[in-house]
Amino acid sequence: MKTAITELIGIKYPVIQGGMAWVAEYHLAAAVSEAGGLGIIGAASAPPEVVREQVRKARELTDKPIGVNVMLLNPNAEEVARIVVEEGVQVVTTGAGSPAKFMDMWKKAGVKVIPVVASVAMAKMMERAGADAVVAEGMESGGHIGSATTMTLVPQVVDAVDIPVVAAGGIADGRGFAASFMLGAQGVQMGTRFVVAKESIVHENYKQKVIKARDIDSEVTGMSTGHPVRQIRNKMTREYLKLEKEGAPFEQLEYLTLGSLRKAVMDGDVVNGTVMAGQCAGLVTKEQTCKEIIEEVVRDGCALLKLPETDIAG
C-alpha cells in the first residue's frame, strides 16, 4: 500500500503509533516499526539522556525507521530536540504546542517533521514553517486534546494545507482506517489500540481498564486549567472534576495529577492514577501483537476501501 506517508517515511503501512507518555517506550516503538508501521518513542517528560538510551535500544531491535515524539510542554524539549538529530532519528512528531523554533535544526539534519495539530490554524502555521506532514488529532484522542472532532478536523486540515495529513483520534480498527482515507488523510495514527499490544509494557491493570472500557467511559479533566486531558473515569477523575467544579486553585489540581500517569502505567494503580485513553477504548477488546494489530487494521481497511491487499499478503 503506497500513500504519501509511506513514501515520505519509507514504511510499509501508513500507520503511525502515538507518542504516548510512559507507554511509548522502545519495546512498543520497535515492534510497531518492525511490523511495517512507524514506531514512536514518546519523550514526554523523560530526562533527555533517557530518550537517547531509548532510541539506541529500539535500534537494537529494528533497523526500520523510528520516530521520537517531542512533548513541547517539557522544559527539556530543546535538549530532546537536539538528541533526535544526534541519534539520526528519521522522524519526529510533536505534541502540546508549536515546534516552530526547532524546525530549522531538524530540516537541516534531514529529519522528517510531522507536528500533531488540533486546529487548521496550527496546521497552516506548521506547513509554512516547513513541516513534511501533519497529524490532525481530534478530541476523541486520549491525553492532551484540542476541541475539534476528528470527523470535522481532518477534512478541514486536508483542504487547508498541501502537505500530507495523518488522521488521529478515535481510530482503532479497519473502519476508522478506511474512514480516515475517505476524509482525505494519507495515513492514521493510533494510540489506544497500541496501549494493549503484547509488546506494550504498561501494567496489566491499565490494559484491562482499556479493554473493559465502554463508549462513554472517558472524561476530560483540566478544561479550566488550559490542559484538557482525556482519560478513563475513575476515583481520580471524580475527585479532580469535583474540585474543578468548585473552582479549586490551579496548583491544587496540578498536585492531584503529579506523577499520576506513571502511577497507573507503571504501578497499575488505576484507581488513583491517570488512565489516559481515547474514546475508541470501547472498540479495543483484546491484547494482540503490533503485527497482528497493524495487519488487521490495514487488511480490513483496504477491504472497505476496495484497495488490493497484495502488500499485506506479501
Residue numbers of the site for ligand TUI (CB under 6 A)?
A: 21, 44, 71, 73, 95-98, 116-118, 122, 137, 143-146, 227, 229
For residue 138, give every residue at least 6 positions away whose Cβ sits within 8 Å of its Cβ, in sequence order, or none: 118, 145, 146, 148, 149, 150, 151, 152, 153, 154, 167, 168, 169, 170
For residue 176, what is the enclosing H or E element?
A: helix 174-182
DSSP 306: T
Question: Shortest gap between Cβ of 302 and ligand TUI (angstroms)?
Answer: 27
Nearer to ligand TUI by C-beta: 45 or 62?
45
Q: Which is nearer to ligand TUI, 107 or 227 (CB)?
A: 227
* Between 96 and 232, CB nearer to ligand TUI: 96
Question: From the CB of 152, what's the least distance to ligand TUI, in Å?
Answer: 15
Minimum distance from residue 300 beta carbon to ligand TUI (Å): 25
Q: CB 235 → ligand TUI: shortest distance, Å?
A: 18
C-alpha cell at 178: 478506511
CA distances, 152 to each of 159, 257, 310 (Å): 11, 30, 32
**Residue with Cβ nearer ligand TUI (73 or 182):** 73
H/E segment holding residue 285:
none
Sheet (strand 143-144) strand order: 143-144, 229-232, 218-221
CB of residue 139 vs ligand TUI: minimum separation in angstroms? 9
Q: Which is nearer to ligand TUI, 239 or 311 (CB)?
A: 239
